[in-house]
Amino acid sequence: MSHRPRTRTVLSCGLLLVPLAVSTAACGGSASEPLSANPYDAGDQITANTPDGKQKADPDKPIEVSVKDDDARITDVTATDSTGRFVRGELSADGRHWRTTVPLAAGTRYTVRVSTEEDDGTPGRKTLVVHTTDADGQLTATFGPESGEYGVGQPVTAELSRPITDPKARAIVESALKVDSMPRVEGAWHWVDDKKLHFRPKVYWPAHATISVHSNLTGLKIAKGLYGGPSKPVRLTTGDRLEAITDASAHQMTVLRNGTSINTIPVTTGKPGFSTRNGVKVILGKESFVRMRSSTVGIAAGSSDSYDLPVYWATRVTWSGEYVHAAPWSVGSQGAANVSHGCTGMSTGNAQWFFNTVRVGDIVKVINSSGDTMTPFDNGFGDWNMPWKEWRAGSALKNASSTTGAAERQQDPGSDARLRPKI
């Protein structure tokens, strides 16, 4: 063997005439005793399944370490990843074999420190550095909305870089998407489709909450050949709880701040055939001026319902073009009749006040309309119209306790016909 020779010095503790201090030193051993010796390099004793030289290890396989000599055993193994986190492993009963027991990450450096001991107590030590191969594919998440202040109705979204269909892979991904809020609330992710998730609390976010969204996907094995990559975190805050409740049959909007009414506004909503959608909507954006043309929502030019109007103080609530906006042409009907093509119209002064009072993420709820109920995902954020039990059923972690959550990055409207306004 290549380590130092095993020489032993016999020391006596039985001479009573020797001073106590000297006797104690003698009984403690000397530098030649195994227990006081510096550990030798046990490299010749240790075998591992890790590639030599510049070759990298397969992250789908565990790191395994063994001792070759019959008169030696492994006493301790410490394995850490590149961030210093410990990696769990197990040592065989005879002390001759050790292996990792948790999945390894792709593209990661692991440091494995092995301690050994021979039959006579001589200690040895060896440090191995293992680099795992990079993943063939990488999954990242884009969180939304962008960091900033929002209303208490704003969901959090995660857009994945590739579709995930396998239930087990979905559970791995979802468990790595973290949403923390202060104060804490009950909430859950819901898979909208194979690439998109939304997170919302059971009820609205608390006023003046802080919401942090981040991913633990980096290096995580999701499926064969697919590992997680880095994702940019977002930090959201909420303001006051602003709710605008429109009673279509009473032709009136009541605006509440933290549960207290701060304004009552006469309005007009959709007329028969163009009824405004019922249910909870979330403000998507605000535009001080919009040119609204009926042709963009399928109404033929020149028909009795066609229009081409400059519209001011427009607050968007659906991607298909439903707004709360100034409608000076219908002031005579506001508070008395529904004459719009689906939007909620009010006087210019009231619309400007509403525009300046609300923020993206605030709640607009319509009741007592003959229209359909706002759908959850395909026309804005109708997430709150889905019952909580059904929402939880859309999680890949159905049996796990609920946690806290957030919403997705909104796309640039561009020239998509879904984004055309209507009045």
Instruction: Measure the CA–CA gap between 217 and 207, rounded to whole angstroms.
Output: 30
Residues 237, 336: contact at Cβ < 8 Å? no
Q: Which token pair is 187?
A: 């909430």
DSSP assignment, residue 73? E
Sheet-wide strand order for 40-41? 40-41, 123-131, 109-118, 72-80
- For Cα atoms 65, 44, 74, give the angle at the middle one, nearest 5 degrees: 40
Long-range contacts of 411-417 (CB under 8 A, 24+ apart): 413/319, 416/319, 417/296
Q: How far is CA 6 from CA 11, 118, 303, in A?
A: 16, 10, 104
Does the active-site annotation cover 325? yes
Active-site hit among 190, 198, 325, 341? 325
Say how far apart CA 190 and CA 211 lie, in whole Å: 18
Query: What does DSSP assign to residue 417?
Result: G
User: What are the b/e assignments for 214-251, b being 16+ CB within 10 Å?
Assistant: bbebbbbbbeeebbbbebeebebebbbbbbbbbbbeeb
Tell me how far apart the alpha carbons of residues 372 and 7 are, in angstroms, rounded to a whole number: 91
For residue 352 the two structure tokens come to 């400007």
* 326 conformational bin, left if phi > 0, alpha if psi -120 to 50, beta if neither: beta
Helix (H, G, I), strand (E, B) or coil at 362: coil
Cα–Cα distance list, 410 to 325, 414, 415 (Å): 21, 12, 15
Please check whether residue 319 is in contact with residue 418, taking contact to mean a CB–CB distance below 8 angstroms.
yes
Are 13 and 26 in contact by the 8 Å Cβ rule? The answer is yes
Task: Report which residue type is found at 309.
Answer: L
The candidate with the shortest Cα–Cα distance to 368, out of 279, 265, 263, is: 279
CA terminus-to-terminus distance, the chain: 89
The DSSP secondary-structure symbol of 23 reads H
In one-letter notation, the amino acid at residue 256 is L
Query: Cα(374)–Cα(381) distance, rounded to whole angstroms?
Result: 9
Report, as residue numbers or ranges, the catalytic residues: 325, 343
